[in-house]
Amino acid sequence: MDYLKTQGVDALNGTIKISGAKNASLPLIAMTILAKNSVKIKNLPQVADIKTLLKLLSNLGAECTFLNESVEVDTSNIKETKATYDIVKTMRASILVLGPLLSRFGHCEVSLPGGCAIGQRPIDLHLKALEQMGAEITIQAGYVQATAPNGLKGCNIIFDKITVTGTANIVMAAALADGTTTITNAAREPEVVQLCEVLNKSGVKIDGIGTAILTIEGTNAELIEIDEFAIIPDRIEAGTYLCAGAITKSELTLTNVEPKHLGAVLAKLEEMGCSFTSTSDTITIHPTQEIKPVKIVTQEYPAFPTDMQAQFLALATQANGVSIIEERLFENRFMHVSELQRMGANITLNGHTATVNGKTKLSGTDVMATDLRASSALVLAALVAEGETDIHRIYHLDRGYDSLEKKLEGVGAKIQRLKE
């Protein structure tokens, strides 16, 4: 098993190229199930979750061919419609194949996501919406068994709460449905927007893209032709490296980035004293000599993203004053706090709120990654900690960051990947 050995640095300097967005890639890969042609996807990040979903499609009968940062996916020979537990258990986003498989074939079996059982990150909203569209759904032996004997029918769907994967799943299901589907309270994340834009260019008429109300005109089971496209830049990866510049008080330039997707993140960094120079596809962070405390509440896009909460919590340990970070979306997303405390952070938890008392001196030690974004928070803390920090269980990190240690090493970080 790999781990990262990191030493604190005085400053970083240089340029980091941002990879394609993992969270945009996953629904777009699942979308290829709706295509009648081989689809080329460019700017694909080389991360574990992408490989897992492509393996799932291969098991269903698709042909997946890698070409550097691109992949060609041909789903024309898919015969199998069962997404088995051994793959789905490693990645909750595998549930994204449910909508397109059901819409195309009229039946499918998809394992419940590992550790979910329609619990903390429920798929009940997905299932309820599919039932409204005419699907018959049962859950047996840990599998969602779905059939649509008369095909899926367009209807009006109102999500009780915003769900990114739920929106993506139902958009894909509606693409081949008979009639018009309206989704109210749809997610507005850039990753959902790109899915809708690609489908729209492929002949599925979608109105309201980027708003909370989407209207999708289905093709009545006719497969679509999808031209090649490139994945949008990863706004969470970009935000993480901006935090690396902020916490080390360094000037860093990010390329292949979409500044307009980072509005809430940039606003909070400005509150903390940083400034920026941007072009249409670059951002340069100019550091502050004194990091100011901040108050953050995680909410759905375009508000502050939950996927940046851990990184800002690490940054807040170096702010001069008390920062308050409230997590409103996921109840178990403060697992990194105990590891940061091991490094000397002064953090108090009260339910869904973390109070960070800064500035604290951090010391290198052995820490353990508990989830994807927690991993990057530990890396950020290690950049300013005194001595060496060994970060274990970085397979979490590899799920969503493409060559993180190489990118940081390229701007001056003392970080290396080693074997346990």
Q: What would the two tokens of residue 306 be? A: 């939950």
Integer Cα distance of 114 and 390 in angstroms: 28
Residue 67 CB-density burial (10 A; 0-12 exposed, 13-18 middle, 19+ buried): exposed
DSSP 201-232: HTT--EESTTSSEEEEE--TT--B----EEPP
Percent of the chain with pLDDT over 70: 98
**228-285: per-residue pLDDT in tens?**
999 999 999 999 999 999 999 999 999 999 999 999 999 999 999 999 999 999 999 9
Cβ proximity of 278 and 256 under 8 Å: no
Residues 6 or more apart in contact with residue 103 via CB below 8 angstroms = 34, 148, 152, 172, 173, 174, 175, 176, 177, 221
Integer Cα distance of 177 and 102 in angstroms: 10
Rg (CA), the chain: 22
Is the pLDDT score of 330 beyond 90? no
Positions annotated as catalytic residues are 116
Which pTM does this prediction carry?
Answer: 0.95
**198-219: per-residue pLDDT in tens?**
999 999 999 999 999 999 999 9
Is the pLDDT score of 121 beyond 60? no
Mean pLDDT computed over every residue of the chain: 94
Q: What would the two tokens of residue 299 be? A: 């909410």
Integer Cα distance of 344 and 361 in angstroms: 6
Which one-letter DSSP state was computed for residue 242?
H
pLDDT score recorded for residue 114:
57
